[in-house]
Structure 1
Amino acid sequence: MKFSSILFSIVFFALVFTSCSKYSKVQKSNDYAYKLEMADKYFDEKKYRIAQELYEELYPVYKGTDKFEKIYYKDAYCFYYLKNYRDAENFFKGFLEVFPNSEKSEEVDFMHALCFFKQSPKIELDQTSTAKAIGVMQTFISMHPNSPRIAEATAIIDQCRAKLELKEARAAELYYKVGQYRAAALAFTTVLNDYPESSKGDEYKLKTIKSYYHFSKLSITEKQIERFEKVISEYQDFADRYPESSLLKEAEEYSNLSKNYIKEIQNEQAKTPTKL
């Protein structure tokens, strides 16, 4: 077992040395056609970091020639495959600016948009890249309405919107959990307005009703009737929007509770003698 490990180490380091020696030979070569051939070979072998170094050395040599487009194109993909999406985004954008009439412009335009999606972070973090991905994908669809990539672009937009929706919903839920009921009601209303076609629309509306209900209960007596009336109004809107919802009965319960509270308050007010 020990001998096998030693043998493996010897073979491994021999291969690394040979590879490095070969690359060093290519890098030092003044035969630019050979260097480009090897860059393409490394690219095909998915050795993107080595290929990228060679491509960028060849920029000043081939700039202005018919080979420059391919070099720029593959260099952009090197960044992408190395998961350096920020630089890939800039290189794909640069490609479109340098080669606006390229037959690869549609593909590169899509890749430029895809880089924003790839930079979309965990849901807890800032979602600027996610929002940007939606915008650039929508622009791609507008610019290339017959592209075979439309379905993929649309699916990405849907994923991004779902992510943004979830982030907003979590923020609203947090307000509710910590007892900030008015803020929660406004936040759930915003989620519903921002994503009116959401499959969770009735859930957001119910949470809006519950938030306003708890806010009303905690309010001073002078404000309670007005605020319980808001609960009833929100329920009526719920019933209009989601008449078939399985949550309708629960929403109605909060409306009925609010009506009962209003009656109790009005009865108490009627018992209180008017001060002259």
Structure 2
Amino acid sequence: MNRTPLLLAFVLLLSACSNKFSKIFKSKDYEYKSKMAEQYYANKDYSHATQLFEDVFPYVKGTARYEDMYYKYAYSYYYDKDYLNAENLFKNFVENFPTSNKSEECDYMRAYCYFKQSPKTDLDQTNTNKTMQLMQVFINTHPNSARVKDASEIIDKCRAKLEEKDFKAAQLYYNLGYYKAAAIAFANVSDNFPDSKKADEYKYQTIRSYYKYAQMSYEEKQKERYEKVISECRDFTDRFTDSKFSEEVNKYKTHSNNFLNNLKNEQAKKANER
């Protein structure tokens, strides 16, 4: 099948559309340009809509239409997935139109734009933290909003992402054999996310890391480090009475106690030989 005619027709169509927009953009009739900006927005041609909105704003600012046009202007960037600019425009909307019935929505959308920029767990989580901060501000500012439930769910999703990132970092320390760093990192995950469904696992991993650290330590340091293992095991037992890791934790506690008892016996034996 010869596709050349189809390709040519497509190129001609693009050229015609481009020429049409160019004529609209160069027009000095700002009423007409405003109408066309609205039309491009309605047709989901957000790139052309934003250009026209920007061009007519100086002429509609201060009029009754300005608020609605600015609202659509912000959403044009959002729908084009330019979340960085959209966030700033939603913020500006709230600041410029604080009494608008759209102000609450734009306040939420500002935070949501940060959420849309939140990356995978192995990348920097600045936007994730910012999302949580702004969603909490939204909840505090609009406690009766229908969007509070969504805001709370997004905070939970962000918290889960941060939890996963911290866990992966701790696990990496362990896999690399940096057991002290792993123990501290797992302990931080446990402390920072006490209500997590995996809280007992984080505590278990803390114990396992401290145990490996004690094993790898110089003899003169082992006593205090096995005592640390036992202390962590006791804390685990107090906090998690029904954990699937309880049996393993008890083993670490027993092994550590055995080591300390053997060490005590050896020291007593050496003392008697003197």
Structure 2 partner of 1:250: 248
C-alpha separation between the residues in 1 aligned to 2:230 and 2:105? 53
Tell me if 1:24 matches 2:22.
Answer: yes
Structure 2 partner of 1:7: 5
C-alpha separation between the residues in 1 aligned to 2:12 and 2:272? 100
Structure 1 partner of 2:120: 122
C-alpha separation between the residues in 2 aligned to 1:109 and 1:142? 12
The amino acid that maps onto 2:163 is: E
Tell me if 1:87 matches 2:49.
Answer: no
The amino acid that maps onto 1:135 is: Q
Residues 82-133 of structure 1, C-alpha deviations (whole Å, 9 max, x = no match) = 1111111111111111111111001000000101111112222211110010
C-alpha separation between the residues in 1 aligned to 2:220 and 2:272? 15
Secondary structure of the equivalent of 2:94? Answer: helix
RMSD over aligned CA atoms reads 1.4
Structure 2 partner of 1:159: 157
The amino acid that maps onto 2:217 is: S
C-alpha separation between the residues in 2 aligned to 1:229 and 1:273? 22
Structure 2 partner of 1:65: 63
C-alpha separation between the residues in 2 aligned to 1:121 and 1:131? 11
1:217 to 212, 215, 218: 215
C-alpha separation between the residues in 2 aligned to 1:69 and 1:106? 14
Structure 2 partner of 1:104: 102
Residues 173-231 of structure 1, C-alpha deviations (whole Å, 9 max, x = no match) = 11111111111111111101110001111110110000111111122222212211111
C-alpha separation between the residues in 2 aligned to 1:122 and 1:207? 24
Q: Structure 1: any 5+ residue segments left out of the alignment? A: none
Shift of 1:55: 0.2
For 1:201-212, list aligned pairs within 5 A. 201-212=199-210
For 1:36-55, list aligned pairs within 5 A. 36-55=34-53
C-alpha separation between the residues in 2 aligned to 1:151 and 1:267? 61
Structure 1 partner of 2:175: 177
How many residue pairs end up in the alignment?
A: 274
C-alpha separation between the residues in 1 aligned to 2:11 and 2:146? 46
C-alpha separation between the residues in 1 aligned to 2:15 and 2:256? 79
The amino acid that maps onto 1:158 is: D
Q: Structure 2: any 5+ residue segments left out of the alignment? A: none
C-alpha separation between the residues in 2 aligned to 1:187 and 1:246? 21
Residues 56-99 of structure 1, C-alpha deviations (whole Å, 9 max, x = no match) = 00111111111111121111111111111111111111111111
Q: Percent identity?
A: 49
C-alpha separation between the residues in 2 aligned to 1:215 and 1:14? 71
Secondary structure of the equivalent of 1:173? Answer: helix
The amino acid that maps onto 2:56 is: L
Shift of 1:275: 9.8
Secondary structure of the equivalent of 1:272? Answer: helix
The amino acid that maps onto 2:41 is: F
C-alpha separation between the residues in 1 aligned to 2:20 and 2:222? 81
Structure 2 partner of 1:230: 228
Secondary structure of the equivalent of 1:253? Answer: helix
